[in-house]
Amino acid sequence: MIKQSALIVVMERAARRAARGLLRDFGEVEQLQVSRKGPADFVSQADLKAEKVLREELEKARPEFGFLMEESGASKKGDGRHRWIVDPLDGTSNFLHGVPHFAVSIAAERDGELVAGVVYEPLRDETYWAEKGIGAYLNQRRLRVSARRQLREALIATGVPFLGHGDEARHRRYLQEFGRVMGQVAGIRRWGTASLDLAFVAAGRFDGFWEHGLGPWDMAAGIVLVREAGGYVSDLEGGGNMLKTGGILAANDHLHGELGQLLRQA
């Protein structure tokens, strides 16, 4: 049985506590109070409550850490070296429509480097966790990215821009990318929860994933998972600026370069 570090224990405990409220609210999804952040981009009371719980739990355990959270943004600088990057409810639209596919995502950053990540999927009680140099795991099972070498055998995940999310030029670019990739792979999936898409790449369930317009909280934990599972992660130009550009490409070492080339050709 793999022994988790104190850091991962703190992260998983916080995620599980926040998820208890999400599960209660998901059972009464039609009664949730919902406010509009923008077209097709909702934030629920469940989202805000989960963020409050996560802040309380993480701050109590590591008072020296700063925060970057989806709803409240950057707050509390802390010691300037350590930071939590948190999405209390990744897959908000799924959640509010009763689609059972959402997660809590927490990453730990030290001196600007992502060092640990937890993605907790409460409906299946699946904890994806990884720590730099320790590996990636699903509960207690070690994870490795898939070994597929051919795009024609690969199942690829993506995220689709929607109303209010990106301008017309971004929408056109995505359609070009989708068309370019679609004819070369075994299938494309769009599930609406980037943290779980990346976790699935780490677990070998998906062979690759790309998306534009993400926030750091959407992908930080997943980046650690994919890397520790032996995969490659870059921005869409092949660099390492995912958290700044909002674009990400993740895959195994056999497919990452070829998939990236297809996207850039589009």
Residues 123 and 199 in one domain: no
Residues 233 and 111 in one domain: no
Residue 36 — pLDDT band, cuts 50, 70, 90? low
Residues 14 and 137 in one domain: yes
- Write the CATH number for 59: 3.30.540.10
Q: What is the mean pLDDT of residues 185-206?
A: 97
**Residue 40 pLDDT:** 46
Per-residue pLDDT at 198 exceeds 70: yes
Per-residue pLDDT of 210-223, as tens digits, reads 999 999 999 999 99
**Residue 23 pLDDT:** 94
Residues 102 and 15 in one domain: yes
pTM of the model: 0.93
Domain span at residue 156 reads 151-265
Average pLDDT value over all residues in the chain: 92
- Write the CATH number for 183: 3.40.190.80
Domain count, the chain: 2
Residues 214 and 256 in one domain: yes
Q: What is the mean pLDDT of residues 170-176?
A: 87
Residues 13 and 112 in one domain: yes
Residues 248 and 126 in one domain: no
Residues 136 and 182 in one domain: no
**Residue 219 pLDDT:** 98
Residues 104 and 215 in one domain: no
Residues 135 and 241 in one domain: no
**Residue 206 pLDDT:** 98
**Residue 170 pLDDT:** 77
**Residue 160 pLDDT:** 87
**Residue 242 pLDDT:** 97
Q: Is residue 1 part of a domain?
A: no
Per-residue pLDDT at 77 exceeds 50: yes
Per-residue pLDDT of 18-35, as tens digits, reads 999 999 988 887 666 666
Per-residue pLDDT at 52 exceeds 90: yes
Q: Is residue 67 part of a domain?
A: yes
Residues 193 and 130 in one domain: no
Domain boundary among 123, 142, 161: 142
Q: Is residue 174 part of a domain?
A: yes
Q: Is residue 219 part of a domain?
A: yes
Contact predicate 48/95, CB 8 Å: no
Residues 119 and 183 in one domain: no
Domain boundary among 124, 142, 160: 142
Domain boundary among 142, 170, 201: 142
Which of residues 41 and 147 earns the better pLDDT score? 147
Share of the chain above pLDDT 90, in %: 77
